[in-house]
Structure 1
Amino acid sequence: MTAVRRWCLVAVGVLLLVATPLAVNAWPAGDTEITARQLLDKVQAADDVAYSGYVEAVGGLSLPTTDEFGAVADLFGGASRLRVWWRSDESWRVDRLAASGETDLFHAGDATTTWDYERLTTTATLDALVFLPRTVELLPPRLARLVLTGVRPEEVSRLPAARIAGRTAPGLRLTPSAPQASITRVDLWADAESGLPLRVQVYGNGQGAAPVETSFVQVTLDQPAADVVAFEPPPGSQPRFGGVGSDSLLGHIPAAFESRALAGLPRVGGASPAHLFSRYGRGVTQLLVLALDYDVSEPLRDQLASAAGVVVDDLGSALAAGPLHLRLSPHRHYEPSWLLVGTVDDKTLRRAARTVYGADAAPAGMAS
C-alpha cells in the first residue's frame, strides 16, 4: 500500500469519525403516536432514570449582580456547560466547566460538597430548606420536574419530535391556565424510550426567545460508577464546613407568612419546617414569601436600589427579570422585611405585597 493510499484511508476514517455524530443528530426524528397525556405520564415516571452526559444551558434573565444574587445572575444570565453523572436523587455529581477551570457539586444523602478548582477550596453544606438555585437546577430533568409539578392534563399538548443528543425525543408543551402566570409556555422534549427530559425551554410574557433553555448535547442512559460521584479532597485543598450553605437564606428567616391563600393562589402544602417560608400557587405559577431579618434585608435593599431595572415605589423594591418577579418590602423598624419572589405577573405580586405588608394574616411566631 502506498503512502498516499494510507493517508487517504486515514483521512476518510477521520471524516467518518467527525461526521457520524453530526449525521446521527441530523436523522429525521421519526415522531411517535404517543399522546400528550401518555408522554406527560412517561416523563413524570422517569425520576429514577440514571444517566450521564453533557448539558448546554443558556439564560437570558437580567438579574442584579448583588452580593446575595450574584451567583444566580451569573447562572441564569449567560451560557453554562455542564457535565453530569446522575445515579439517583441521593447520589450525583454536576460539574460546571469554564475556560479557567471548573466548579463541581458532589451530592450524597443530605449533603452537598462544592469543589472550586480555581480557589482549591472544598465546602461541605447540608441541604437547605430555602436556597438560591445552583447548577444542578439547570439540568433538563431537574427543570422539567419543577415545571411539571402540579400540572393538569388539559394544560399539555403535543409538539413534533426532535433529534436531541442522538435520540428521538417527542415534544410536549405546557400552557399554564392560571391567570396570574408570568410564564406563557414551557416546551420540553423527552427521550422516547425512557421518558428522560432532554431539552426544556421556558417562555415568559412578550418574549420571542426562551429566557431559559437547557439541553443535552450528549447523554448516556446507564448507571454511573459510584466512585465517579464520590468526592475525595484533592491534595492542597482547603476544606471547610458551610453549615446550611452560603447559598441559603435559612439562617436569616425569623418567621413565615401564614394564610390559606394569597392573591388568588392556594397555599402549597402545610407550614414549612420551623415556619421558615410560605409557598403559594400551582405548577409553574409559584409565589414564595420569606421574612428576612435586618442583616440580610438591608444590604439587599441597598444593592437593589442601585441595580439596573429595579423600581422603587411605595411597596418597596421591585424587579422583573423575564418571567421571574421579585419584590422586597420597605424598611420598617422592629419588623421583618418581606421578600416575595415567583413566576407571577406584576399585578399579582403587588396584590400579594399589600396583603403581606398589611398583615392581613399574622406571621407565625410574631404578633400581627
Structure 2
Amino acid sequence: MRWPVAMTRARRRWLPAFLVPLAVAITVLAGSLTAGATVSLPPKSASDILAMVARTEVRALSGTVVQEAALGLPEIPATGPGAAPGAAGALDLLTGSHEFRVFVDAPGKARFQVMERMAERDVVVNGRDIWFYDSGDNSATHLTLPQAGGHASHDPGDTVMETPESMADRFLAAIDPSTEVRVADDVSVAGRSAYQVTLIPRSAGTLVESVSIAVDSETGLPLRVEVRAKGQNEPAYSLAYTALDLAVPDPGLFLFTPPPGAAVTEQAVPAKPLPDKLLPDKPVPDQPVPALPSPGPDEPAPAQHGPSVTGRGWDAIAVFPAGVVPPEVAASPQLAQALQPVAGGRALTTALVNVLFLDDGRIYAGMVPLERLETAAAAE
C-alpha cells in the first residue's frame, strides 16, 4: 500500500522519485481524528512496537487520509495554461492540505481518490493494470506493469501511492546505529488508540529533526507518520488516517472504465523503474525488528546508466544521470516557479528535501543541505 505524492508513481513516479527521496507526508487531523489526544495503553518497549508493525496482518482496508505539507514551497497550480499534468500534480501535493480516500485489497488491488475542490483524481490498481484519471480534463492514462518469469515483477500496490504503512515501513527499515529510537506518548488516531515511536537521526548532516510513527495498538498498522525538520516546531510533512475501516472493500471499486469522451493514453513502464526512495524496503516479515547493521563507508554505488544512491540513511543522496528523468519534467512551467538559480543549474529547496538540477542534465536529491548536493555533484 503506497501513496507517492501526486503524479502517481508510474505516470507520476518520475517526479516524486527525486522530489521526495525519503517519501514523507503530514497530518492535518480532522473528522474522527483526535489530534494530539493521549490515551493510556499497557507499556511497550520500542522493540515491541516495531515488532507489532512487522507482524501486522492488515491487508484490506478503506480509509480517509489527510496530508499537509509545510515545506516552504510556493503554491503551484495543478491546472491552467501551460500546466504539465505530472509535474504540476506532484508539486501541488507537496504544498498545502489534501485529502484522499484509499481502498486496498492486497495483494494487487488498490484505489486512491484525491478529492479537490474542482476535480477528482483517481488511481486504480488491479493486478498489472494501473489507471490514472483526472476529471479536471477528463483524461486517463493506462499502464501495464511488466512481468518477470510469467509473474508481475513487483506488487502493483507497491508502485503507486504512499500510505502511512508504506511510509512508516521505509523509515523503520532504515533504522541503524545512526538512528536513536524512543517511545513517545500514546495517542488516538482516527478514533483508534496507538503507540508511538520517534526516530531521531544522530547525523548532523540531515535536514530531518525526527520522525514520529503512530502504531495501532490492536493491529500494529501504522496510522500516522510525522516528519519534523530541524529548526521547526511543527511537522514539515505528515500523513495520517482520519477514518479507517478494516473490512474488505467492494471488489467493484478496483474496476475502471474510462468515462465517455475521455482522452486515453497508453504509457510504457520503464524496464528498470527509478528508485522511489533512499530508504530500503520494509523489513522481512520473519525479522520483526529491523537489524542494526554497522554503517559502511560513504561510497557511491557502481557506475550505471540508471539512477544510483550515494551515502547511507539520513545522509543519502539520489543521483540521476543525464537523460534518466524525462526532459519535460525539468522543463515544466510549474516546476520552474519553485526553482532558484544556483551555480551550474537550478535548485528546489524545501525544509526537508533539496533537489539540484544541473545544466548538463544530472539531478541530485536528498534530505540534506543543498551544499551537500553541490559537493556530491562536483566530485563526479
Map 1:115-194; keep pairs closer than 5 Å: 115-126=133-144, 136-137=161-162, 139-152=163-176, 155-194=180-219
Counterpart-to-counterpart distance in 1, 2:351 and 2:265: 36
**Alignment CA distance shift 1:318-1:295 (3 Å):** closer
Q: Which one has more relative contact order, counting CA pairs under 8 Å at least 6 apart?
A: 2
CA–CA distance in 1 between the matches of 2:89 and 2:225? 21
Letter in 1 for 2:96: G
Among residues 300, 303, 309, which one is paired with 1:279 in the alignment?
309
Contact map agreement 2:139 2:264 (CA 8 A) in 1: yes
2:243 pairs with 192, 208, 218, which one?
A: 218
Is the helix fraction higher in 1 or 2?
A: 1
Partner of 1:288: 318
1:96 to 114, 124, 133: 114
| Residues 1:191 and 1:183: Cα distance change in structure 2 (over 3 Å) | same
Alignment CA distance shift 1:215-1:24 (3 Å): closer
| Corresponding letter in the other structure for 1:312 | V
Q: Is 1:57 equivalent to 2:67 in the alignment? A: yes
**Are the counterparts in 1 of residues 32 and 190 from structure 2 also a CA contact under 8 Å?**
no
Q: Could you tell me how far apart the structure 2 residues matched to 1:316 and 1:329 are?
A: 4
Identity %: 24
1:53 to partner: Cα distance: 0.7
Cα pair distance change 1:90/1:305, threshold 3 Å: closer
Query: 2:353, 2:367 within 8 Å by CA — same for their partners in 1?
Result: yes
Q: Is the 8 A contact 1:94 1:135 kept in 2?
A: no
Q: Which of 90, 93, 100 pairs up with 1:72?
A: 90
Rounded Cα–Cα distance in structure 1 between residues aligned with 2:134 and 2:88: 16
**Normalised TM-score (structure 1):** 0.72
> Cα distance, 1:302 vs. partner?
9.1
Q: Does 1:351 align with 2:375?
A: yes
Output the CA distance in 1 between the equivalents of 2:190 and 2:254: 22
2:40 to 25, 30, 44: 30
Contact persistence 1:301–1:317 (CA under 8 A): no
- The 1:93–1:33 alpha-carbon spacing in structure 2 relative to 1, beyond 3 Å, is same
* Cα contact 2:356–2:363 (8 A) shared by 1: yes
1:33: Cα distance to partner?
1.1
**Amino acid of the residue matched to residue 342 of structure 1?**
G
Change (3 A) 1:207 1:51: same
Q: What is the SS of the residue equivalent to 2:362? A: strand
SS in 2 for 1:155: strand
Matches within 5 A, 1:283-362: 283-293=313-323, 296=326, 300=330, 307-308=337-338, 310-313=340-343, 315-331=344-360, 337-356=361-380
- Gaps of at least 5 residues in structure 1 are 1-20, 251-262, 332-336, 357-368
Secondary structure class of the residue paired with 2:59: coil
| C-alpha distance in structure 2 between counterparts of 1:174 and 1:310, whole Å | 31
Which amino acid in the other structure matches residue 262 of structure 2?
S
